[in-house]
């Protein structure tokens, strides 16, 4: 009986230590406040190419790149934070995606495979992107660079189609300008270790 109790205690200690190590390995990073943090939406029409840019968004992830893990990741931004050089185009775009009813665009990671070492990694991600209230699975390749100040810069791009999210490509100038269905999303995101931020405060 005593031997059984000892075995149970030993197993409990091992499990506790393992769980504690796992928690330490999962480091929470939040999006840094920087003018270099951008999301760009690039498109084209029968008249010219166009770009909308946002620098206001929220994102966080549990990065452990040295051990080739990305435990969780989420991202969101307000549709109306995306701006082009033309206010009229912005308004028509917001209307096309029904921004009043669906004001946000969001992404949540489902799984990730991390490769690389030292300071540069490639993350093959699978997740779910929600636009205009429609959620679609999406795969992306992300390049992650660990900077000298311990921040992590994530970059990449992904092509999508408006109709996949139930969005009719908008038209302008009484139909003279027609936006094409294909878009490219480009991102440059910088993350700071939340633990270091807390200690600094």
CB 141 within 8 A of CB 150: no
Q: Which residues contact 98 (CB under 8 A, 6 or more apart)?
A: 132, 133
User: What is the percent of the chain with per-residue pLDDT over 90, rounded to a whole number?
Assistant: 68
Residue 21 pLDDT exceeds 50: no
Question: Considering the entire predicted model, what is its pTM?
Answer: 0.82
Could you give the CA distance from residue 117 to residue 108 in angstroms, rounded to a whole number?
25
CATH topology of domain 26-200: Lipocalin (2.40.128)
Q: What is the pLDDT of residues 84-130, one digit of tens each?
A: 998 988 998 899 999 999 999 999 999 999 999 889 999 999 999 99
Could you give the CA distance from residue 171 to residue 180 in angstroms, rounded to a whole number?
9
Confidence band, pLDDT 50/70/90 cuts, at residue 196: low
Confidence band, pLDDT 50/70/90 cuts, at residue 14: very low
């Amino acid at each position: 009986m005593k031997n059984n109790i000892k075995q149970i205690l030993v197993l409990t200690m091992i499990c506790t230590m393992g769980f504690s190590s796992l928690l330490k390995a999962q480091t929470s990073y939040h999006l840094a406040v920087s003018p270099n943090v951008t999301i760009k939406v690039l498109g084209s029409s029968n008249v010219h190419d166009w770009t909308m840019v946002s620098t206001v968004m929220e994102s966080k992830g549990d990065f452990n790149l040295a051990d080739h893990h990305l435990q969780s990741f989420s991202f969101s931004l307000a549709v109306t934070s995306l701006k082009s050089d033309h206010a009229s185009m912005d308004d028509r775009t917001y209307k096309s995606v029904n921004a009043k009813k669906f004001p946000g665009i969001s992404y949540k990671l489902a799984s990730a495979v991390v490769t690389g070492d030292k300071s540069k990694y490639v993350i093959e991600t699978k997740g779910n992107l929600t636009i205009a209230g429609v959620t679609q699975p999406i795969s992306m390749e992300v390049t992650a660079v660990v900077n000298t100040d311990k921040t992590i810069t994530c970059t990449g791009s992904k092509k999508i189609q408006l109709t996949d999210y139930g969005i009719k490509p908008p038209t302008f100038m009484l139909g003279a300008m027609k936006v094409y269905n294909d878009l490219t999303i480009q991102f440059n995101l910088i993350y700071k270790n939340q633990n270091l931020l807390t200690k600094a405060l």
